[in-house]
């Protein structure tokens, strides 16, 4: 007996027209919006032409099948077409070309605001969403308390959702989407909203949904969550499928390509940074295998390696780096003159290769940048340029909950003991 196909996409394309063209609208939402906008546009631009000035294809010739019970991860850079594809599956928008076949009810959690009526209360929206999924009132009643408990918004259940914060909104939206038992669950970047505890709850619930044999389509930039939750991964770029296969293989290829020169900066000749006497020639992030890498697993040690060419050795020369987060916050700073002077690496004329060893279980999940800093007595700067970026992914270990990032730049595994013992 063959596998049951939950989602089948054949030649899906989605075109957006920029300009004054009037497009055929296939959903009520599109038609109403266009009817309102056309008179306004004519007032703003009387006599404006209705010709097309530009066409953008968000998706082009996308074909794929998702089997029942499969957890499919969709990855790709911003603008790759991931969210558009999920909107087509959720029937929020119709494809310009191609066909989607669905075998079951679809529950969607896309951007905050999708699927809820702002004027209705949280309670009313639970029943509204259930009705949209084709569920009876009795079926919704059976899961109602579980939804409310998960969302943690019981105090505001009878408040219109337009008064909810974005965090409250998404908690309720996720609880509804994940608990009303659709055959196909579609989730777009749910982990981008909410605190660490909520993210962990979402990951745990998604794991439960997947283990129950329902079909899940999951978009996320959390590559470790993609690796752990998904049975297959598809990469989209510029609206087309460019890769498909086992999570570890597709994610590794994606990160290598996205990183580009990440994990490695090598300079030669006049491209070296410095004042002529002291020159920075290379910065590398090395994994446990001693090879340059753009992805570090939090439970594994790694190193930052620097090549520095010295034509002289000025007194007070310090060679080091800042490790900065994506928002430029410095997680820590280190120099070769840290620690016991007897253990400082000896500098010599010519090429010096210095290496800073970073222990496992120190950094939080996220993207970091190595910013080299070479100075005299940490006052006169010789090098304050160059950058090497890499991603830290937390090792889930035995629990999916470990994937959610903790607050802060570092997330060390510290030892606890009772009553000061141990």
pLDDT at 402 over 90: no
Between residues 245 and 134, which one has the greater pLDDT?
Answer: 245
Give tens-digit pLDDT for 171-196: 888 888 778 778 898 888 765 555 66
Residues 6+ apart with CB under 8 A from 290: none
Tokens describing residue 210: 């997947």
The fold of 270-403 is Coagulation Factor XIII; Chain A, domain 1 (2.70.50)
The answer for residues whose C-beta is within 8 angstroms of residue 346's C-beta and 6 or more apart is none
Q: Which CATH class is domain 5-12+59-258?
A: alpha beta
What would the pLDDT profile of 253-281 be if each residue is shown by its tens digit? 776 665 444 578 888 888 788 888 899 99
| This prediction's pTM | 0.59
Listed ranges 40-44, 121-125, 211-215; the one with the highest mean pLDDT: 121-125
pLDDT in tens, 141-163: 999 999 999 888 899 999 999 99
Domain layout of the chain by residue ranges = 5-12+59-258, 270-403
pLDDT of 414 strictly over 90: no
* Tens of pLDDT, residues 307-327: 999 999 999 999 999 998 866
pLDDT-based confidence at residue 22 (cuts at 50, 70, 90): very low
Beta strand residue intervals within 152-294, DSSP E: 184-188, 215-219, 232-237, 240-245, 264-266, 273-274, 278-286
> Which DSSP symbol is given to 3?
P
């Amino acid at each position: 007996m063959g596998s049951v196909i939950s989602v089948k996409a054949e030649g899906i394309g989605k075109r957006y027209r920029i300009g004054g063209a009037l497009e055929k609208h296939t959903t009520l939402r599109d038609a109403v919006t266009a009817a309102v906008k056309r008179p306004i546009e004519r007032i703003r631009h009387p006599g404006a032409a209705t010709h097309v000035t530009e066409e953008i294809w968000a998706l082009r010739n996308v074909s794929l099948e998702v089997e029942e019970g499969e957890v499919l991860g969709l990855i790709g850079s911003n603008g790759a077409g991931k969210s558009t594809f999920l909107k087509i599956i959720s029937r929020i928008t119709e494809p310009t070309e191609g066909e989607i076949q669905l075998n079951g009810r679809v529950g969607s959690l896309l951007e905050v605001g999708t699927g809820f009526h702002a004027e209705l209360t949280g309670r009313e929206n639970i029943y509204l969403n259930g009705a949209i999924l084709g569920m009876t009132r009795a079926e919704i009643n059976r899961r109602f308390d579980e939804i409310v408990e998960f969302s943690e918004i019981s105090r505001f259940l009878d408040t219109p959702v337009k008064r909810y914060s974005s965090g409250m909104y998404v908690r309720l939206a996720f609880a509804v989407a994940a608990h009303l038992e659709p055959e196909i669950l579609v989730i777009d970047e749910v982990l981008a909203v909410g605190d660490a505890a909520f993210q962990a709850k979402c990951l745990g619930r998604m794991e439960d949904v997947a283990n129950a044999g329902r079909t899940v389509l999951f978009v996320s930039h959390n590559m470790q969550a993609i690796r752990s939750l998904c049975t297959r991964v598809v990469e989209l770029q510029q609206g087309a499928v460019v890769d498909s296969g086992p999570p570890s293989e597709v994610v590794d290829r994606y990160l290598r390509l996205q990183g580009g020169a990440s994990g490695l900066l090598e300079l030669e000749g006049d491209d070296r940074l410095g004042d002529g006497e002291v020159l920075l020639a290379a910065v590398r992030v090395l994994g446990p295998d001693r090879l340059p890498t753009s992805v570090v697993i939090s439970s594994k040690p790694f190193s930052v390696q620097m090549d520095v060419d010295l034509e002289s050795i000025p007194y007070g020369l310090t060679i080091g780096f800042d490790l900065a987060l994506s928002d430029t916050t410095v997680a820590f700073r280190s120099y070769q003159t840290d620690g016991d002077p007897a253990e400082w690496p000896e500098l010599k004329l010519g090429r010096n290769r210095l290496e800073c060893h970073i222990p496992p279980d120190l950094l939080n999940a996220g993207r970091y940048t190595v910013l080299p800093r070479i100075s005299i007595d940490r006052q006169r700067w010789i090098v304050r340029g160059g950058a090497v970026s890499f991603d830290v992914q937390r090792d889930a270990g035995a629990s999916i909950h470990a994937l959610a990032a903790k607050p802060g730049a570092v997330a060390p595994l510290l030892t606890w003991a009772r009553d000061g013992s141990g």
